[in-house]
Amino acid sequence: MNTGEGVSAQEIDYESLPANAPLWTQLIAGAFAGIMEHAVMFPIDALKTRIQSANGGSNAPTGLLSQISKISTAEGSMALWKGVQSVILGAGPAHAVYFATYEFAKSQLIDPQDYSTHQPLKTAISGICATIAADALMNPFDTIKQRMQLNTSSTMNNVARQIYEREGIMAFFYSYPTTIAMNIPFATFNFVIYESSVKYFNPSNDYNPLIHCLCGGISGATCAAITTPLDCIKTVLQVRGSESVSLPIFKQADTFSKATRAILKVHGWNGFWRGLKPRVIANMPATAISWTAYECAKHFFLTNGKIA
């Protein structure tokens, strides 16, 4: 393994940056991972939002391919990219905080000599700390993104202003408790599944992009599937003020319990699994991209002597 000048082989662990790694390297690596993750799979995420927010009826979404074709024909090929600027603007800083918090928490909980051992509980706790910090920063941008995915004629500034003027500042954070409730198990399983699978497929702990990609995909698909019901509730909370939401029961759903009851009343229990397929399809490669990009950034800093 090429460790680069000033970095010994013993110091390198691609499950975590070295303890002496400066904060800026963690922030850059995390930001790079976040932007890559959200930008590449954004159209599938936009399709998931439309499926979850649809009121039902004859015009309700049916299949992925038919919906992509319908949206592209009716609204143009760029319709599913509306809102990408908001998520990129938020994803960079949020993922920088996400991975930096994760690395910091791991450094506090796990002895550097034990990094090569399996530490699922401490890894999970580190992931929980990371998602609580990052989601506080990302939630307003995610709310704007969801609205833009439904109202493709509005700009990011117009959507943000409309939310603030019509619903107040708290509208940007209505979904934060639900986001936390969803992302804590997502982050817990994400880090544990990813690191466990990496240790299984790559016991030598060498830098291997294919292994990182494979393990990220396994983690992303699993986490996306088990947290879909909470994601449906989050979507209802974030798009409730959108002009495309017509049913009063959804417009009035400003709490977790109200959103849950609205989904159950209108769609039944199956309503909590709306958007499962595009969510898994989006998160599997997105998480793979995120982990691969993060490991790639760490590898760059380590092998180019950026971390002494």
Higher pLDDT pick, 207 / 219: 219
CA distance 27 to 21: 11
pLDDT digits (tens, 9 = 90+) for 70-90: 777 777 777 778 888 887 888
- Residue 272 contacts residue 234 (beta carbons within 8 Å): no
Please say if the pLDDT value at position 140 is more than 70: yes
Strand partners, 16: 13
In a domain, 171, yes or no: yes
In a domain, 18, yes or no: no
In a domain, 228, yes or no: yes
In a domain, 6, yes or no: no
Please say if the pLDDT value at position 20 is more than 90: no
pLDDT value of position 214 = 93
Element (H, E) at 261: helix 256-267
| CB-count burial class (<10 Å; 0-12, 13-18, 19+) for 18 | buried
Please say if the pLDDT value at position 24 is more than 60: yes
CATH number of the domain encompassing residue 233: 1.50.40.10
Domain around 119: 23-53+61-67+74-301
pLDDT value of position 17 = 52
From residue 146, alpha-carbon distances to 154, 160, 226, 228, 268 in Å are 12, 11, 21, 16, 23
In a domain, 244, yes or no: yes
Element (H, E) at 98: helix 84-109
In a domain, 95, yes or no: yes
CA 95 and chain centroid, separation: 9
Report residue 260's pLDDT band, with 50, 70 and 90 as the boundaries.
Answer: very high
pLDDT value of position 153 = 66
Q: Judge if pTM exceeds 0.95.
A: no
If one counts the domains in the chain, the total is: 1
In a domain, 96, yes or no: yes
